[in-house]
Chains A and B, each alone.
Chain A
Amino acid sequence: MILLLLGITLLTFSLTKVLPGDPVQGLVGERAQPEIIEKIRKELGTDKDIVSQYTGYLKLLLTGEMGRSLYTNRRVLDDILIKFPNTIKLAVGAMLIAIPLGISLGFLAAYKRDTHIDRFISSISIIGISVPVFWSGLLIMLFLSLKLKLFPPSGTGDIRFLIMPSLTLSLPAIATFVRVTRTSVIEIADMPFINTAKAKGLSIFKINSVHILKNVLIPLVTVIGLDFGSYLNGAVLTETIFGWDGIGRFTMEGIIKRDYPVIMGCIIIGTVVFVLINLIVDILYHYLDPRVRLYVSDR
Chain B
Amino acid sequence: MSPTGKIAGFLIIIISCLAIFSSLISPYDPDRIDLDGIKQPPGIKHLFGTDNKGRDILSRVLYGGRVSISIAVIAAFISMGIGLIIGLYAGYLGGWVDTSIIAIVDLILAFPSLLLAIGVSIIFLSPGIYTVMIAISFVGWASFARLIRGYVLTIKDAPYIEAAKAVGCSNTRILFVHLMPQCLPIGLVMAGIKLGGYVLTEASLSFLGLGAQPPMPTWGSMVSMNRVYIASEPWMVLFPGLAIAVTALCFNLLGDALRDKYGLKTKM
Binding site for B on A (CB under 8 A): 3-4, 7-8, 11, 15, 18, 126-127, 129-132, 134-135, 138-139, 141-142, 146, 153, 176, 226, 228-230, 232-233, 236-237, 240-241, 251-252, 255-256, 258, 260, 263, 267, 270-271, 274, 278
User: Which B residues are CB-close (under 8 A) to A251?
Assistant: 115, 118
Give Cα A236 to B238, complex, Å.
Answer: 21
Binding stretch for chain A, among B10-18, B19-27, B153-161, B207-215: B207-215
- Quick check: is B132 within 8 A (CB to CB) of the other chain? no
Interface pair A134/B248, CB less than 8 Å apart = no
User: Which A residues are CB-close (under 8 A) to B209?
Assistant: 255-256
Interface pair B119/A11, CB less than 8 Å apart = yes
- Quick check: is B41 within 8 A (CB to CB) of the other chain? no
Interface pair A126/B249, CB less than 8 Å apart = yes
Interface pair A134/B114, CB less than 8 Å apart = no
User: Which A residues are CB-close (under 8 A) to B167?
Assistant: none
Binding site for A on B (CB under 8 A): 103, 107, 110-115, 118-119, 122-123, 196, 200, 203-204, 207-210, 220, 223-224, 227, 230-231, 234, 237-238, 241, 244-245, 248-249, 251-253, 256, 267-268
Give Cα A241 to B203, complex, Å.
Answer: 15
- In the complex, what's the smallest C-beta–C-beta distance from A88 to chain B, in angstroms? 16
Give Cα A42 to B227, complex, Å.
Answer: 49
- In the complex, what's the smallest C-beta–C-beta distance from A256 to chain B, in angstroms? 6
Residue from B111, B208, B220, B248 within 8 A of A252 (CB atoms): B208
Interface pair B248/A142, CB less than 8 Å apart = no
Interface pair B203/A132, CB less than 8 Å apart = yes
Residue from B113, B220, B238, B256 within 8 A of A233 (CB atoms): B113
Sample 27 A-B pairs with CB under 8 A, ordered by A number.
Answer: A4-B107, A8-B111, A130-B200, A130-B245, A132-B223, A134-B203, A134-B207, A134-B241, A135-B223, A135-B237, A138-B227, A138-B237, A142-B231, A229-B115, A230-B112, A232-B112, A233-B114, A236-B114, A236-B115, A237-B204, A237-B207, A241-B227, A263-B118, A267-B115, A270-B115, A274-B111, A278-B110
Residue from A4, A129, A138 within 8 A of B252 (CB atoms): A129
**Chain B contact residues: helix, strand, loop or mixed:** helix
Interface pair A132/B241, CB less than 8 Å apart = yes
Name the residue on A nearest B200 (C-beta).
A132
User: Which B residues are CB-close (under 8 A) to A228?
Assistant: 112
User: Which A residues are CB-close (under 8 A) to B267?
Assistant: 226
5 tightest A-B contacts by CB?
A: A135-B241, A229-B112, A233-B114, A130-B249, A130-B248
Residue from A15, A131, A256 within 8 A of B245 (CB atoms): A131
Interface pair A126/B114, CB less than 8 Å apart = no
- In the complex, what's the smallest C-beta–C-beta distance from A179 to chain B, in angstroms? 8
Interface pair A255/B241, CB less than 8 Å apart = no
Give Cα A131 to B246, complex, Å.
Answer: 8
Give Cα A252 to B196, complex, Å.
Answer: 24
User: Which B residues are CB-close (under 8 A) to A8?
Assistant: 111
- In the complex, what's the smallest C-beta–C-beta distance from A185 to chain B, in angstroms? 18
Name the residue on A nearest B210 (C-beta).
A255
